[in-house]
Structure 1
Amino acid sequence: MTKTRVLTGITTTGTPHLGNYVGAIRPAIEASQDPGVQSYYFLADLHALIKAQDPARVQRSRLEIAATWLALGLDTDNAIFYRQSDVPEVNELTWLLTCVCAKGLMNRAHAYKAAVADNESSGSPDPDRGITMGLFSYPVLMAADILLFNANRVPVGRDQIQHIEMARDIAGRFNHLYKGDFFTLPEAQVDERVQVLNGLDGRKMSKSYDNTIALFSTEKQLLKLVRKIKTNSLEPGEPKDPDGCTLFQIYSAFVDRGASDAMRQRYAEGIGWGEAKNIVFETLNEQLRAPRETYQALLEDPAHIEALLRKGAERARAQAAPFVDRLRSAVGLGRFV
């Protein structure tokens, strides 16, 4: 049976939070256990260099994110889990694709256009001020990540659909120029059921807003952060609306439908905010206690993480190297004998 190939990259620029877990990590780990799917999960550390020039931060983030996925049960026997920078074929393919990619396509990339717009709104005489070639050609690197393994599906948020469309355009251009079916045209997989959690201030949980709850906060830190979640001024005994309430949203993301419905009834009965926050804390802490301990143990054993990532890179390169050899020949860079 031919397996469907699904690929996901995790940018290594920060510490995973509850929103990352609910929106991306949990569904991806569940998919990694599907025998009908060949999953590719990689630490996108080359992408990280586009926005982070702090080596210590990038290095620490790579370790923390790898430990997070492993602690939460990623099946590395089924899924191929690797560091992007450990697969040099990614870089070579990026150049091959760059040489067929139209500059005009990159001019339309959302991130580049947003950076130009920021410069123009600030009155800068140079619309490209501070914009690196890394940012400008970022979609080509992402296309290489996807096309190197001929992924069929790429789970993304709506803001990333454009990048998948660009990968399709670049792949189609290469296939046409070199007269072959070298690349599968990938499909964006947007799951409308994926939950987007709000943060401490009621806005989307994001490092940009500094309103996150780190996934593996200590018990003391977790309690402190849950107590900081913004609520209204309704007193105990007054009915409360769970819809639009960050506390209820977070709680519902970690319990089954029955528990969620029971909490909804407690809101109607006027549960106090202090009691509600204690319940949310206890629920999160109970579910995250075991993986938190595993996570801490993994951080203290980086050699184990390194070994798993190297094994994953070997598996990735076993597929990537022969494919890139074929592409070299296709463009005229093959060996003479």
Structure 2
Amino acid sequence: MQKTRVLTGITTTGTPHLGNYVGAIKPAIAASQDPNVQSYYFLADLHALIKCQDPRRVQESRREIAATWLALGLDTDNAIFYRQSDIPEIPELTWMLSCVCAKGLMNRAHAYKASVADNEAAGQPDPDKGVTMGLFGYPVLMAADILMFNANKVPVGRDQIQHIEMARDMGGRFNHLFKGQYFTLPEAVVDEKTQVLGGLDGRKMSKSYDNTIPLFVSEKKLLKLVRKIKTNSLEPGEPKDPDTCTLFQIYSAFATPEETRAMRARYLEGIGWGDAKNELFEYLNAYLREPRERYQALMEDPGHIESVLQKGAERARAEAAPMMDKLRHAVGLGSFI
């Protein structure tokens, strides 16, 4: 039976936090252990250059993210784990797709339209002020990431569905122009059950809001951050609504169903906010203790991380190189012999 191909890119501009783990890392690691799925997970470091021109931040983020996924149990024997920048065939395919992609399609990309709208709202005479070709052509690079490995499914948030549709458009156009089934047209997979965690201020946990709880901070820092989570002014003994509480939401994302039910009962009984925060800290600290130790060991051994990523790149290029050779022949760029 042919394995379903699932591909996920991880942007390398930030430090992984609890929201990343619950929404993306945990389900991806589970998929990496499924023998019926061929998973591709890559550090999207070329994408990172679109928004981040701090080389130290990009370099550190790549290492932190790789160490995080490995510490949490990514199965690199089954899944293919690599850096985007280690696959030179990706930018080559990006150019080929750029040559069949209509500019009008890129004009409709959400990120580009948002930048133009911001300029217009600010009264800028040039609607493209600050827009780089990296930002404008970002969906083409994303299409190359997906189409190179003929991914069947791409797990994304709702805001990324448009990019999968664009990848389908480019892949279909290429197939039509060069008269062959070179690319599998991917399907966007949106998990409606994926949890979106609240952050310290109650809004969605996001580095954009500076309200995150990094996964592997020290115990002391973790306690400090948990205590900063915003709560209301209800006193101990007063019943509290668990469904509107960030503390309970984070707790339930990690706890078992039985533990969650028990905590819900304590909320209705009027647990004090100090006790609720202490309970959350203790649970998170115990849950993350072993992976935190593995993470710290990995961060102190960059050579091991590098070797894992190089092995992943070799496996990825074993597919990408012959694919590009076929595509070069398709467009007339093949060798003469």
Aligned residue type for 1:22: V
Instruction: Tell me the CA shift for residue 104 of structure 1.
Output: 0.1
Supply the AA of the counterpart residue of 2:193: R
Instruction: Report matched runs for 1:320-335 at 5 Å.
Output: 320-335=320-335
Q: C-alpha deviations, 1:230-251, integer Å up to 9, x for none?
A: 0000000000000111000000
Matching of residues 298-313 of structure 1 within 5 Å: 298-313=298-313
Question: Which residue is equivalent to 1:227?
Answer: 227
Distance between the aligned counterparts of 1:46 and 1:220, measured in 2? 35
> How far off is 1:256 after superposition?
1.0
Query: Which residue number corresponds to residue 73 of structure 2?
Result: 73
CA distance in 2, matches of 1:244, 1:127: 40
Q: Which amino acid aligns with 1:202?
A: G
Distance 2:29 2:162 in 1: 25
Where does residue 205 of structure 2 map in the other structure? 205
Q: Percent identity?
A: 81
User: 2: distance between equivalents of 1:241 and 1:19?
Assistant: 21
Separation in 2, partners of 1:317, 1:335: 19
Output the CA distance in 2 between the equivalents of 1:187 and 1:33: 21
- Structure 1 gap segments, 5+ residues each: none
What SS class does the counterpart of residue 154 from structure 2 fall into?
strand
Structure 2: runs of 5 or more not aligned: none
Q: Secondary structure at the match of 1:47?
A: helix
What is the DSSP-based 3-state SS (H/G/I as helix, E as strand, rest coil) of the residue aligned with 1:82? strand
Q: TM-score scaled by structure 1?
A: 1.00
Q: What is the Cα deviation at residue 326 of structure 1?
A: 0.2
Matches within 5 A, 1:97-246: 97-246=97-246
| CA displacement, residues 165-211 of structure 1 (integer Å, 9 cap, x when unaligned) | 00000000000000000000000010001000000000000000000
User: Secondary structure at 1:112's aligned position in 2?
Assistant: helix
- Name the CA distance, whole Å, in 2 between partners of 1:165 and 1:95: 19
Q: Which runs of 4+ in 1 moved over 3 A?
A: none
Give me the TM-score of the superposition, normalised by structure 2: 1.00
Deviations 1:12-31 (A, max 9, x none): 00100000000000000000
SS in 2 for 1:134: helix
> SS state of the match for residue 242, structure 2?
coil
Offset at residue 259 of structure 1 (A): 0.7
Shift of 1:38: 0.2
**Secondary structure, aligned partner of 1:262:** helix
How far the C-alpha of 1:320 sits from its partner, in A, is: 0.5
Match in the other structure for 1:278: 278
Distance 1:55 1:312 in 2: 23
| SS of corresponding position for 1:243 | helix
Q: CA deviation at 1:83?
A: 0.2
The Cα of 1:315 is off from its aligned counterpart by: 0.2
Determine if the alignment matches structure 1 residue 84 to structure 2 residue 84. yes
Amino acid at match of 2:41: Y
Over aligned residues, Cα RMSD in angstroms? Answer: 0.3
Distance 1:282 1:217 in 2: 14
- Residue type of the partner of 2:252? S
